[in-house]
Amino acid sequence: MLKRLRVILVAVVVVAALLAAAAPALAVHRPTRVMIVVMDQMHPEYAKQYNMTNVLWLQNHGVTFPKAYVGDMASETVVSHNVMVSGLLPKHMGWSDEALRDTTDVLDGGANGIYVTGDLSYAQFQQLVAAGAYPKLGTYLHAKFPGSVVACVGQKSYQVRSMTAGSADLGVFLGSTKSGTNGGDPALISLLGGAYRGPSIIGTMAAPYITADPNNRFFVNSDPSNDYGTLTQSPAWIYPEDGDRMVPGFNEGHLGGDNWVADATIKIMQNEDWSGLFVNFGAIDKIGHMWGGGEADNLKNYQWDPNSIFNQVHEPFIAKNADTQLGRLIGTLKALHEFDSTLIVVVADHGSTAATKHFYGVDDQNAGDFNWYYGDSLTDGNFYNMPGRVITPALKPLIDTGNVAFNYSSTAIETWLTDFTMAKKQAAAKVMRKLPGVIATYMKSDDGTRYVLDTATKTKTKMTLAEHAWWKLHGQQLVNTMAWSGSADVVGLLANRTSYGAFGDHGGAQKDVQRIPMAWYMPGIKHAVSENPLRLVDIMPTMLKALGITPTHPMDGQAFSLSLPQ
């Protein structure tokens, strides 16, 4: 009897297994829309520090990655945004830094011409993407959802141009300042209280509901005199606010900053059948550059009244406001009955470090460009290399070599040489290692595929144990991600809490600069706190996997699984 019972039990197990194998897998409820919300320069700790309730809710109900980091260099806005929507490391994009050497004359200005990427036109970004012959997220969305619109919105021109180029239909950003001396409309100057900015549209479609709004909603004050006190107080005066470009201001019909971005995005949501929205909130970045971000921008360091109008130019207000605008976008999704089908990703393009240990730039009014850039540029003529210019003292030994074609200094020093033979790179690296704050120097290999650590001389600045641990784990990998024929010839990594550019800055490999928040959510997703160190380059393949799309082109990123609703 016992033997017969065993046979019956075995038979039941076998039948159950066969039925399970034959039953179709539960269908995954895949999104039909994706929205990437970039909180420019946001640190992971800001969500709790500033009670960003919408970000916290998404983290607590979606899939969050506490160990997420940028994962590449240069950790700059103009680089990171294209990494997200291409799945490629910077070295495969066509540009990997604040400047590029156009070795193959893609931009038609002559071989080996040096360009500042933040000054490139939309058409030039299009040329670089086309030369790379790689698809971006919008390309896949168009194929998956024919006739749908992919759009990008943000305050910064280069942010939107680089992210839109190659696949998006519509890009919206704040255009250049107009005043009475350069063709500004007297009626708008009067209405807005001075010089102003209006919406600029790029891509393949018009957006009259933005450009021709009957109330001129998307025109905001941009008078430099309206600086909220940031032009007269160190260190904010290095990179001061100009009108209401990054802060909302007080004209209810013409709010700027992240409010402007949210309003433009909502207009697109209401007027278009969209499948992809790339939304870029830039205010945290601007305020972080001025004061040093969350670790420094507090009442202990700066005397400001949280109840006054000037709280707009400090991190506690501006981070909370960015979160409020995120909430407005979520509310619009719900009102349009699109929330259940939308996959939302909230992320930062980079972090930052405050120069509380050492600041080696010039601390003076509007010194940002002076500190960041040196050299000739085809896009700007004689770019900050004017006769009689006083070189930043800390950088002077490098410039005095007479072999610097272009230099960008932030939380790393990246130098393009006039003569970039290996012998000259070695000579430049020897000088760079002696510059204050430099903890490691790299020379680009002759084939341009990697950077080689210079070990011939000792750096003037010694690493702390924490710096060494992070550098040993990530330094070489991060520097190599930007190595290609057009990248800098010599790179110097800087110590923590050290900057040559603005008081709060990014661009390098420091842990504070690299660490970012990242949360994914759609209704029904299974909440998880993942230990995977997701990088920006992983966003694209992970999103394609969630959409059920098979890539047609190799990517550098890794596709991670999300527990989507079934």
Q: Yes or no: say if 42 and 518 are a contact pair by the CB < 8 Å rule.
A: no
SS3 for 86? helix
pLDDT tens column, 133-189: 999 999 999 999 999 999 999 999 999 999 999 999 999 999 999 999 999 999 999
Residue length, the chain?
566
Q: What is the pLDDT of residues 390-444, one digit of tens each?
A: 667 899 999 999 999 999 999 999 999 999 999 999 999 999 999 999 999 999 9
* Mean pLDDT across the chain: 91
pLDDT at 458: 77
- Report whether pLDDT(518) > 70: yes
CA 564 to chain centre: 26
On whether the CB atoms of residues 329 and 54 are closer than 8 A, the answer is no
Tell me: the pLDDT tens digits for 244-264? Answer: 999 999 899 999 999 999 999
pLDDT tens digits, residue range 279-324? 999 999 999 999 999 989 887 777 667 667 678 999 999 999 999 9
Structure tokens at 143: 């194929």
pLDDT digit string, tens, across residues 533-558:
999 999 999 999 999 999 999 999 99
Burial class (CB in 10 A: 0-12, 13-18, 19+), 339: middle
pLDDT band at 389 (very low <50, low <70, confident <90, very high): low
Longest pairwise C-alpha distance within the chain: 104
